[in-house]
Amino acid sequence: MKKQLERDQAKFDKVWVRFMEIVCPVCNGLTPVEAFCPQCGEPMLDGGPVEDYLGSYSPYMEKGTCQEQNYCIHLLYCPDCHYDVRAAWEMIIV
């Protein structure tokens, strides 16, 4: 009887894990981008994630990939002076 219960619990855990997703809060609109241009002080805009761009460097950072996956790298740009910078956001579990 107890064994049966444990099996059910295990089944439940598996289903629960499947519904948890690791997402970037900025990509999903959960966190507003609040950064200001260091050159002119204008609010910077989110240019979107640059994962693909970084992907082209993967041969050089193969060993660090596991750690990098916990972050989503975004390109922030200033609409005024076109200064741009890359910023990493920590992925969250939803």
Distance CA 87, CA 81 (A): 18
Site residues (CB under 5 A) for Zn ion, limited to 25-84: 26-27, 37, 39-40, 42, 49, 72, 78, 80-81, 83
28 Cβ neighbours under 8 A, 6+ residues apart: 94
Calculated CA dihedral for residues 80, 82, 86, 91, nearest 10 degrees:
40
> Is there binding between residue 24 and Zn ion (CB under 5 A)?
yes
Query: Of the two residues 8 and 90, which places its CB atom closer to Zn ion in the complex?
Result: 90
CB of residue 7 to Zn ion, shortest distance in Å: 38
> Is there binding between residue 92 and Zn ion (CB under 5 A)?
no
CA 53 to mean position of chain CA atoms: 15
By the criterion CB under 5 A, which residues form the site for Zn ion?
Answer: 24, 26-27, 37, 39-40, 42, 49, 72, 78, 80-81, 83
